[in-house]
Structure 1
Amino acid sequence: MNLHFIRRGTGRPLLLVHGLGGSWRSWNTLLNPLAAERDVIAVDLPGHGESPNLTGLHSIGTFADALTSFLIQHDLLGIDAVGSSMGARLVLELARRGGVLGAVVSLDPGGFWQGWQIPFFYHSVSLSGKLVKALQPVMPMLAGSALGRTVLLPQFSARPWAVDAQLARDEMHSFAHAPAFDELLDQLAHGAVQQPAPTGSITEPLVIGWGRQDRVCLPSQAALALEKFPDARLYWFEHCGHFPQ
């Protein structure tokens, strides 16, 4: 399938993969600084932004297949990649498969919850999705004020008032209008668990970054992520929520 993407800058290619309900615009705070040094490709995953739905199931497995096909189509196999949230789990899965990506940075990956954390993730994000959809008529005004962002975004940011207003508007619009959102949320919470990558199986650099104040993918989940990806190095973002970028 054809995935929508934007491409900026010159240099060694770098792939950016957004999270659930996001789009390529989720990276707007970093695009220009990265494009000053790298050839940056930021993609809209299926059922997000301007990319169409898949014809079948929307899951990490089918997204990994679709993204691999995209990289083959554009002669980008072996590209370095950064993923956020659901996208962070996606780049981990592609790293596990081997031969798809180069160096990988995985920021606050989903999929490492256990026990009570599963319904906590599912119901809290589902409620957030319903609230964002219900508030769409007034969302530009809410997202445009520091007070509104403080009320809207504490689940996702440790400093929600400081989030750029236009970025907040873009994210809240994308969150509300991603047709694959509900199916993906169910798959992330209740679908196939992330398979491990045995020690020594990932030869390219792999960093898992985690915000100390992440209220979506709780910091304690980093232990299971490292257990499943022992070749990874863990980096903690201090005073940071779910989206370091």
Structure 2
Amino acid sequence: MAEKISFPVAAPAGDRTVEVAYERLGDGEPLVLLHGIGHHLQVWDPVMGILAAERDVIAVDLPGFGRSAAVPEGIPHDLRGVTRMLRALFEALGLERPHVAGNSLGGLIALRLGQEKLVRSVTALSPGGFWTPAERNYAFAVLRGLRLGALRLPEPAVARLARTAAGRAALTSAIYARPGRRSPDAVLAEIRAMRESTAFDAVLETGRSFVFTGDVPDMPVTIGWGTADRVLLRRQGVRAKRIIPAARLVRLPGCGHVPMSDDPALVARVVLDGSR
């Protein structure tokens, strides 16, 4: 069950209160999980139990997504703004340099947290920011299509589609290689999260300038990329390895852009290895 926590974040016009939803499970060294744009923390459900056997796992709804409140006025929807909010969240939860794993936008944020030395290790699954302009435009078109579908499809229609494997494929095959593994309830919840996100449009617009530059020195970094990723093509993983030479680049065979339900055991192993 998700909990919520409120905490102050410094902004140019004075402190703002940010409210974030999160789920926490397990014991051990802390591990924070970050989802992608338009998603929510439940996307990590397939691996939470495995990870919690060795880690104190904290899955987070990023501000403006899932059950977290909208980003307060005065805090930008850019990497600097989200890094500032996550730094304050770590302090509020008593986390001193946790491990972090992120997918897509969450992977890009995780790498940025690594550059800021706010975490102990980084595992980034299909992170954004390693694209060419054409690859970015293609990925954003896919994301806009998913958002438009979520906004236009009535919830009863989504519920009917989600009851069948073919319907789940129609709704989510852009991001999952094995959409039939998602439960009807999970698909319905993530379509709802995409539809109700208050930060989606602002983050996507700001994301035009998201290009990852610079190394992540003195930090264990693992980059995983699904071989069936249809949003961010896997050649971007090779590009990421060139930019972060010491990173461990791992292929995720048969996995899509959001690999956690495509192969939970593999993804959990990659994340745990990365946090060791």
TM-score (norm 2): 0.82
1:121 and 1:204 map into 2 onto residues whose CA distance is 28
- State the alpha-carbon separation in 2 of the partners of residues 208 and 24 from structure 1: 20
Q: Give deviations 1:129-165, integer Å, cap 9, x for gaps.
A: 1012211421122122111011112210112223232
Q: 1:233: which partner in 2?
A: 248
In structure 2, the residue matched to 1:175 is 194
Counterpart residue number, 1:128: 146
* Contact 1:207-1:233 within 8 A present in 2 as well: yes
| Aligned counterpart, 1:61 | 80
Match of 2:30 among 3, 10, 13: 13
User: Which sections of structure 1, spanning at least 5 residues, go unmatched?
Assistant: none
Q: 1:213–1:240: 8 Å Cα contact kept in structure 2?
A: yes
Residue number in structure 2 paired with 1:25: 42
Identical residues among aligned pairs (%): 32
Matched, 1:202 2:220: no
Separation (CA, whole Å) in 2 of partners of 1:181 and 1:158: 23
Which string of whole-angstrom CA distances, capped at 9 and with x for unpartnered residues, describes residues 149-207 of structure 1?
1111221011222323222222111111111001111222x12422211xxx5223210
1:89 equivalent to 2:108? Answer: yes
Quote how far apart the aligned CAs of 1:68 are.
Answer: 1.1
Determine if contact 1:3/1:52 at 8 Å carries over to the other structure.
yes
Cα distance in 2 for residues equivalent to 1:39 and 1:242: 25
Measured in 1, the distance between the counterparts of 2:214 and 2:154 equals 39
Contact 2:131 2:211 in 1 (8 A): no
* SS of residue in 1 equivalent to 2:100: strand
Q: Please state if 1:211 is matched with 2:230.
A: no
TM score, norm. by length of structure 1 = 0.92
Opposite residue 29 of structure 1, the aligned amino acid is P
**Structure 1 CA distance for aligned equivalents of residues 59 and 239 of structure 2:** 28
**Residue ranges of structure 2 left out of the alignment (5+ in a row):** 1-17, 261-276
Alpha-carbon RMSD: 1.5
Query: Which amino acid letter does the alignment assign opposite residue 205 of structure 1?
Result: P
Equivalent residue of 1:4, what SS? strand
The one of 124, 133, 147 aligned to 2:166: 147
**More displaced stretch, 63-72 vs 30-39:** 30-39
Secondary structure of 1:2's aligned partner = strand
